[in-house]
Structure 1
Amino acid sequence: MMKNHNMSLLALMLSGMLAVTACGDGSDGADGAPGAPGANGADGADGQNGLNAGDVVSTVYKAGDVTFTIDPAENTLAGGDALALKFSVTSKNQAGEDKPLTGLDMIAVYSITAMTNTTDDGPAVFWENNAETAAGAHSMYCTLDGTYSSRGQTGEACTLVEDPANPGTYTGTWTYTDTTAPIMNAADDLNAPHRVMIRAYNVTDADGNSVSDKILGSLDYIPATGETGVTTGKDTVADAACKQCHGESATSGNIANISAHGNYQSVENCVFCHNPATQPDEEQAAEGYVFDLPAMIHRIHGGAHLAELAQYGFIQAEEWSEIGYPAPLNECTVCHSEEEGKTTWNDEPTRAACTGCHTNINFATGAGHASFALAQADDSQCASCHSAGGLAPINAHRVGERKELASLVQIDFTGASVAAGTLTVTADVTVNGALSSDLSVLGVAATLMGNVNDDGSVSRWGSRPALTAGTFTETGKLVLTRAVTAEEGSGTIYVGTEATFCVGTDNQAATCDETADLAYGNPVEVVHGSSVFSTAIGVTADTKFFDLDTAAADDEGMPARFAGTDQITVSVAKCEACHNNLDVTKGAGHGVYKFTQCMDCHNNDYAGSYHPNAVFKNADGVAESKGVTPFANRDLVTVVHRYHSGNFDVIEGVHTDADGSVVGFPGVQGDCTACHNGTPLFAADGGLTSGKRSIAVTGGYISPVAESCRSCHNSDSALAHFKSNGATTADAPDSTADLPVESCSTCHGEGKTYGYDKVHVKF
């Protein structure tokens, strides 16, 4: 800049010298006679007069900034008439203002119709892709020269023209007289709801990089009337349901972390291709593939569960066979709406939708379809059995039933007191809706007890009486006792349960017995060396907090931070949004599904770990050690971070591949908002908001912030970074719990340049 500035001064000086010379050549300096008029300048380009550079944009910051506007009155995009395409498109500039997006050179146009089904095969209304029906294609391209080249194919396209008088406004015409525009279907029903989608290609950001996510815009309308915003009758799953697990894209605002086809971002977009017309060939079908969206999503989410049932005749595509669906597979309303008008998933069963999961059924022969082997040539009889009553999907799948049945067995702790070194705990026991002294229905019958420290953390007791070790003073009035030390028997204690029961076919609580007739079956699995029923339900019991320093046995004590205080930074609701209920993770084996139950084992005061190592799946599909320092703690933060990032000692479910990519976690890696509730993670002193200042491990204590970060960032260089910032790490634990606060928050606290709220964001 300085060099240019000096050159400008030099030019001015030379100009001045020339002027002095002209005045000093003997003339009087008078003005010369006017010259002849010059020729008129060339006309400016049409429509560009007065157009400032800031009036339009030609680059895009992110896909969600782009908005398409399609007016049905200016378009003919359905039926057998000549194509007439007109739309406008805007994007946000650097100031966040919407401006016309100029310079598009290629788009694709899709058209589908919500057709009324006149056959006995399929749902009452189905999506028909008009280009597929009319021309055997999924869409139609529009380019500047009327031809396209895409994915190794070339062909005819509509001609795309930007209006020079109205930048950002485009028209498309079909100039080939011997063919019809592909999306124009002469057999189309113009009175039915239609959806049109436009995809823009070759759009870059200001640095010339291709914009991540596809740039899409769509319109729902009825061609015959021009009415927009119509209900299609097919949108029974909202994007919001998908976002519960997959997250929301920060670049488009739509569904994140769906890698197929680069992510078309919305259920409303997927159906343009994934509809009944798109069927697998014979080989693909035999491998377990299906492409119509309802059946395909069922099959994909069936994942590993369907693969594990191969011995019973189920099939699953290899590509989907390792997916671990995080919610109960039978809970249809995790995805489907129960709103009025959106219940076709329950009211209109079809063979295709059902065999998305029930892949062992052969409707041609009837094999696998009930004990009667009921063959079905079409869908005309499906509703006879499955649209209402016990065999309707919502009832046959027992949707929501497990949550309701959990209340069949309830333990309500009513008091706790200490006398002469003995703790006495009282509780009301309810079984099948009435006070009961019969605990024979319990499979696991353990209790959870320990102290609550001044900072809200907990210290579990090594031994606790089982529920079945108590006595009843009267019907339903349980008394438990335990000898306590002076330290244990003072201050606040917590009392809860780790208990399970099973359910009989009469929907009443029943003993977990392999020979019993149980509503959910009798499968047994081994959890930490003990055999448990995988269909057992956790007993309903709130963890209670009692102050033992008062005379009153029912005096409430200080709740642990896990009880939803301002010390806890995660949200149970966010966990359940994806898992449906935390019972799905630990309910059957342990009977626990609340943070106040998890805290008994997963706290910063209880050392050791059942899963100390981190492995990855190598190229041969075998677990191989990552060679990192073992995790010798059970702290809930560490365990949850580790599992969701694939740094566990198993390769089933969530794991990492040889290239370091995370497989099995449905959300966006690094999106803290998926679980955290927005409470700042760091306190004023640089420690954690929870008040946790150390974590007990085998051999001593370590820093909690560094160990939380190491759950994901476990390279040698990361470990060295933690140490250089004052952390006490797992490879060299300290003998005392009184550790200094490491300086992590200096750089990584909220609002800092490298704050976790800036570097850990959704994409």
Structure 2
Amino acid sequence: MMSRLLTRKYKKWLTPLVLVPVVALTACSGDDGHDGEDGEPGDINISISSAQSLKAEIEKVTIDDALQVSFEFYLSNVNGVAVSGLADLDSIQTLGAGIAKLGDQQRRIRPLNEADSASVQSTAETDLSPQWTSYINNVVEPGEVADNDLEPGWDKNKGTQWQASIESTCKEACIEAIGNGLYRYTFSQSLDSYSNIDGINTEYVAENIHRVYLELLPYSGATIDTMLVNTTFDFDPQTGTAAADADSRVLLASEQSCYRCHTADLSAENSLLMHGSKRFDYEGCVMCHTSYSGDPETGASIGMASVVHKIHKSDYLVIGYKGSVHDYSDLSYPGDMHQCQQCHIEDAAPQADFYQYPGQETCLSCHEKYAPEGWNGTAVGLFHDRDAFPDAWAMSCSGCHPDSNNPLGSAIFHNAAVSVTDALAEQYQFAITDSVIDELQDTLTATLTFNQLSANPDVDPAIDNLWIVASGNAQQTVMPENNGQRKVWDIVSGADDITMTRDGSVVTIIVKNAGVADFDLDSVGTLYAKVMACGDKSTGLVASCDAQDTDSNIVVAEVPADSAVALTANVSAYAELVNNQKCAACHDDQFQQRVNDAHSKISTPGNGATCGACHSPQVATTLADGSCQSCHTNDMVKYMNATRKHTPGDASVKAFRTISNSLGYRELVHSLHANTRTTVGYSGSEREDMTYPAAANDCQACHDEGQLTMDTLSAQSSVIVATPNATMTGEVAEYSPTVAVCAACHNNEASWAAHAQSYGGVFQQDASSGAIYQPGDESCHTCHGEGKGFGIDVMHGFN
């Protein structure tokens, strides 16, 4: 500890050289020295009232013989300068502390007040994953519900429940200053004095790892995003010092899991700041959201696994503070709930693989809906039904409980589809190594180089399709009659116009009668390719695609080429303006398959065929490389709503296809994520709203630096959509390209339309007589391009 204190003192002595001009610092008197020599420096600190930021680091915990617990923490600003005066405040706005031990999982009684509660607690003794048990717990009775506009039966499981907690009322009486920025918090009661609840084992065991939690906001009006403290400290009670990482329980790394989709900015509207804007730290959350905690009004588990799983499944209802209703049935999760490693990322946290060990509430959070009538409410009562879970029981106990025969336990089933998809992606990985257009011969030649290939793609039974897609200029002023700027070929189809030769792992494809003239190859042209391969999730191996319609274990995986390439040497490939890795962070690698499924269900009016029968949306490779935008152009509504196939026309634009329901890719994506999109679907039916977990103005959630200069946006064609409040097909309005993008989110257009028009923009112009916008007329990017004085990065506040 001495070396730690000396290091901190040295840092504090240096830091004020930078901070003196900004904040008022206090130097406690030290030795002045004599005879011209330097004296010992005094303590350097900043007062709590002057601090603009806070952080706390718990350093040591003491548990005495009477089981009285205290912990010491160092309070500083973000620059490491000690913060003084906390213990002198007349009133501390928020100061709470919790303590928990790590040990055997405590079982929640479902429900607590039933006579057969003893049998409900029974479970197999094979759970090797320790859980947190708080020393501070309450027995909670159902209360009044403020808003009772709920479906009948929502409270059928209400009853007394246990809830883990922290202490939050002691505040000033429990804290003391013991040094320069160093404070001691002493719990108001000894560990054996808190409520001893029959059924929860809170016996102190010195050999078990413990955790303490601190939350602090010093005074009313303190800025939450910089001054709110949530911190935990895992320790060995026998020494009071930090526990080894391997001895604790940390299953998730929030930065890699939660904050891939949610924002870490506590000031953002959609931040994960809970419980009266006091709590955000995941490792603090699990100390109260324990395996045995429940909601008395609904009987639902509030254990962390249940909360997270059921919220993301849109299947969670609990009653909160003062009877407030928290109903997550309308939440939309864009990933695959069966893909555990979407959040439980391998090696991201010390106990990342603990999710493989079954916990009662964890497993039931998803599987409870499959419970038969008369079920006793336990995991044992459900999963020990051998007929209901034959695959798991074929592996005996290890089908759920990890052991040396199957270290994955039930995770082997949850991750099966992902595992075989990853294996297929590795086996069939390839790149487009050459692309040549011969305009005179009307041919397209493409060379694909695979990592490994043992047979021709057209005879490999595990290859369902090998698509190549050629896309020309997607923003032509005059489109050809057949919208031929995008063409698709399935190389394994055996079509007469396609020849294929293989030399080892290199496949050369020649497409005759390619329709090269339709591509308008003046500046942009892109070639995409993708393999659709089949595997068996029960074996993890490749499998014949012939069985995909009859065998539910067959998985079809998408393996796109490493990247798209220029269609010919004379043009450029589509310039990506979105980071696809950021898309996949929320949507996962299986999102494209769900997009394909959604497209294939859309019927073309009049003949019952699906759009996918011709347009093959399944050939899209990634969300960012332009393969989606090659169809979702500014003109798409004119094609999608045409009265005759392949014939565009403003007169056939349906009344609901307003700018808030456009099919142009930019407007489509922005309006979905901003939740400004109207909910009328293609066939006129309503669809659910989408919820987006981050701030809609955080462009960096999707875009990288340099992707929002808008240099080429004004040169594109305008967007023709239905007039707002249109009642008839063919009532159309025109938006210039920049105005259309902005209007997808900023649907209060009347407040800014005049400004846009003064700089060449076109807003809701009656387009019944044709478009008036000339590409290049807008000058919005001059001021609002990224990096400019009023750039989008400045106006959206993320620069």
TM-score by length of 1: 0.67
Identity %: 16
- Contact map agreement 1:115 1:189 (CA 8 A) in 2: no
Matching residue's letter, 1:586: V
Matching residue's letter, 2:232: S
Determine if the alignment matches structure 1 residue 494 to structure 2 residue 526. Answer: yes
The CA distance in 2 between the partners of 1:272 and 1:178, in whole Å, is: 15
User: 2:744 is matched with which residue?
Assistant: 711
Determine if the alignment matches structure 1 residue 592 to structure 2 residue 617. Answer: no
- Contact map agreement 1:111 1:183 (CA 8 A) in 2: no
User: 1:638 is matched with which residue?
Assistant: 667
| SS of structure 1 residue aligned to 2:250 | coil
The CA distance in 2 between the partners of 1:49 and 1:483, in whole Å, is: 85
- After superposition, the C-alpha distances for 1:180-211 in whole angstroms (9 at most, x for unaligned) are 477999822223222211222562347xx777
Mapping for residues 40-55 of structure 1, pairs under 5 Å: 55=46
Distance 1:333 1:638, change over 3 A: same
User: 1:484 is matched with which residue?
Assistant: 515
Report deviation, 1:418.
2.2
Distance 1:225 1:408, change over 3 A: closer
Report deviation, 1:645.
0.8
- Contact map agreement 2:656 2:680 (CA 8 A) in 1: no
The CA distance in 2 between the partners of 1:496 and 1:349, in whole Å, is: 43
Mapping for residues 495-514 of structure 1, pairs under 5 Å: 495-497=527-529, 500=532, 503=535, 507-508=541-542, 510-511=544-545
Report deviation, 1:714.
0.8
2:585 pairs, out of 572, 577, 584, with: 577
Report deviation, 1:671.
1.4
- Contact map agreement 1:385 1:392 (CA 8 A) in 2: no
| SS of structure 2 residue aligned to 1:199 | strand
User: 2:649 is matched with which residue?
Assistant: none
Report deviation, 1:677.
1.0
User: 2:335 is matched with which residue?
Assistant: 327
1:423 pairs, out of 437, 443, 457, with: 443
- After superposition, the C-alpha distances for 1:206-253 in whole angstroms (9 at most, x for unaligned) are 7xx777885323322212112225324310111112344344433589
User: 1:114 is matched with which residue?
Assistant: 102
Distance 1:373 1:426, change over 3 A: closer
Determine if the alignment matches structure 1 residue 723 to structure 2 residue 757. Answer: yes
Larger deviation, residues 414-423 vs 230-239: 414-423
Distance 1:728 1:182, change over 3 A: same
User: 2:212 is matched with which residue?
Assistant: 196
Distance 1:441 1:132, change over 3 A: same
| SS of structure 1 residue aligned to 2:168 | strand
Report deviation, 1:708.
1.9
- After superposition, the C-alpha distances for 1:627-669 in whole angstroms (9 at most, x for unaligned) are 99535754433222111111223389xxxx9xxx996212233
Report deviation, 1:516.
2.2
| SS of structure 2 residue aligned to 1:228 | coil
User: 2:13 is matched with which residue?
Assistant: none
Distance 1:330 1:487, change over 3 A: closer
Matching residue's letter, 2:783: T
- Contact map agreement 2:75 2:82 (CA 8 A) in 1: no
User: 1:738 is matched with which residue?
Assistant: 775
Report deviation, 1:278.
0.9
| SS of structure 2 residue aligned to 1:70 | strand
Distance 1:346 1:58, change over 3 A: closer
The CA distance in 2 between the partners of 1:280 and 1:700, in whole Å, is: 52
RMSD (Å) for aligned C-alpha atoms:
5.1
Determine if the alignment matches structure 1 residue 139 to structure 2 residue 166. Answer: yes
Matching residue's letter, 2:484: W
| SS of structure 2 residue aligned to 1:76 | strand
Determine if the alignment matches structure 1 residue 82 to structure 2 residue 68. Answer: yes
Determine if the alignment matches structure 1 residue 216 to structure 2 residue 227. Answer: no
The CA distance in 2 between the partners of 1:275 and 1:443, in whole Å, is: 47
1:297 pairs, out of 292, 308, 312, with: 308
Matching residue's letter, 1:714: N
User: 2:58 is matched with which residue?
Assistant: 70
The CA distance in 2 between the partners of 1:449 and 1:364, in whole Å, is: 55
Distance 1:111 1:253, change over 3 A: farther
- Contact map agreement 2:164 2:288 (CA 8 A) in 1: no
Report deviation, 1:759.
4.1
The CA distance in 1 between the partners of 2:737 and 2:573, in whole Å, is: 18
Report deviation, 1:743.
3.5
The CA distance in 2 between the partners of 1:675 and 1:611, in whole Å, is: 30
The CA distance in 1 between the partners of 2:794 and 2:519, in whole Å, is: 43
Report deviation, 1:461.
2.3
Larger deviation, residues 102-111 vs 184-193: 184-193
- Contact map agreement 2:667 2:741 (CA 8 A) in 1: yes
Report deviation, 1:673.
1.5
Determine if the alignment matches structure 1 residue 561 to structure 2 residue 574. Answer: yes
The CA distance in 1 between the partners of 2:562 and 2:97, in whole Å, is: 56
User: 1:664 is matched with which residue?
Assistant: 691
- Contact map agreement 1:60 1:211 (CA 8 A) in 2: no
Determine if the alignment matches structure 1 residue 100 to structure 2 residue 136. Answer: no
| SS of structure 2 residue aligned to 1:436 | coil
The CA distance in 2 between the partners of 1:585 and 1:610, in whole Å, is: 20
The CA distance in 2 between the partners of 1:511 and 1:268, in whole Å, is: 45
The CA distance in 2 between the partners of 1:644 and 1:235, in whole Å, is: 31
Report deviation, 1:383.
1.8
Determine if the alignment matches structure 1 residue 401 to structure 2 residue 420. Answer: yes
User: 1:228 is matched with which residue?
Assistant: 242
User: 1:130 is matched with which residue?
Assistant: 135
The CA distance in 1 between the partners of 2:333 and 2:313, in whole Å, is: 7
Larger deviation, residues 211-220 vs 250-259: 250-259
- After superposition, the C-alpha distances for 1:516-555 in whole angstroms (9 at most, x for unaligned) are 22425xxxxxxxxxxxxxx64335345654565xxxxxxx
- Contact map agreement 1:421 1:485 (CA 8 A) in 2: no
The CA distance in 2 between the partners of 1:720 and 1:572, in whole Å, is: 35
Mapping for residues 408-487 of structure 1, pairs under 5 Å: 414-418=434-438, 420=440, 422-426=442-446, 434-438=455-459, 447-452=468-473, 461=484, 464=487, 466-467=489-490, 468=493, 469=495, 470-472=497-499, 478-482=509-513, 484=515, 486=517
Report deviation, 1:175.
7.8
Determine if the alignment matches structure 1 residue 256 to structure 2 residue 275. Answer: no
The CA distance in 2 between the partners of 1:408 and 1:171, in whole Å, is: 58
User: 2:283 is matched with which residue?
Assistant: 268
- After superposition, the C-alpha distances for 1:466-515 in whole angstroms (9 at most, x for unaligned) are 32334445577643222536574756643334775654566435447774
The CA distance in 2 between the partners of 1:395 and 1:60, in whole Å, is: 51
Report deviation, 1:600.
1.6
Larger deviation, residues 249-258 vs 176-185: 176-185
Distance 1:71 1:241, change over 3 A: closer
- Contact map agreement 1:671 1:762 (CA 8 A) in 2: yes
User: 1:552 is matched with which residue?
Assistant: none
- Contact map agreement 2:714 2:737 (CA 8 A) in 1: yes
The CA distance in 2 between the partners of 1:453 and 1:626, in whole Å, is: 24
| SS of structure 1 residue aligned to 2:249 | coil
- Contact map agreement 1:139 1:183 (CA 8 A) in 2: no
Mapping for residues 23-62 of structure 1, pairs under 5 Å: 55-58=46-49, 61=52
- Contact map agreement 2:274 2:280 (CA 8 A) in 1: no
Which blocks of at least 5 consecutive residues in structure 2 are unaligned? 1-26, 31-41, 107-123, 140-161, 318-324, 600-617, 643-653, 721-731
The CA distance in 2 between the partners of 1:205 and 1:630, in whole Å, is: 41
Matching residue's letter, 1:108: G
Aligned length: 626
Matching residue's letter, 1:577: A
Distance 1:722 1:645, change over 3 A: same
Report deviation, 1:142.
5.0
Larger deviation, residues 123-132 vs 362-371: 362-371
Distance 1:386 1:439, change over 3 A: same
- After superposition, the C-alpha distances for 1:436-490 in whole angstroms (9 at most, x for unaligned) are 33498777776532325999xx997256353233444557764322253657475
Distance 1:630 1:80, change over 3 A: same
Matching residue's letter, 1:302: K
The CA distance in 2 between the partners of 1:127 and 1:710, in whole Å, is: 49
Distance 1:252 1:298, change over 3 A: same
- After superposition, the C-alpha distances for 1:253-294 in whole angstroms (9 at most, x for unaligned) are 99934556536222211111011231345x734xxx322212
User: 1:618 is matched with which residue?
Assistant: none
Determine if the alignment matches structure 1 residue 677 to structure 2 residue 704. Answer: yes
Distance 1:67 1:718, change over 3 A: same
The CA distance in 2 between the partners of 1:454 and 1:292, in whole Å, is: 52
- Contact map agreement 1:444 1:591 (CA 8 A) in 2: no
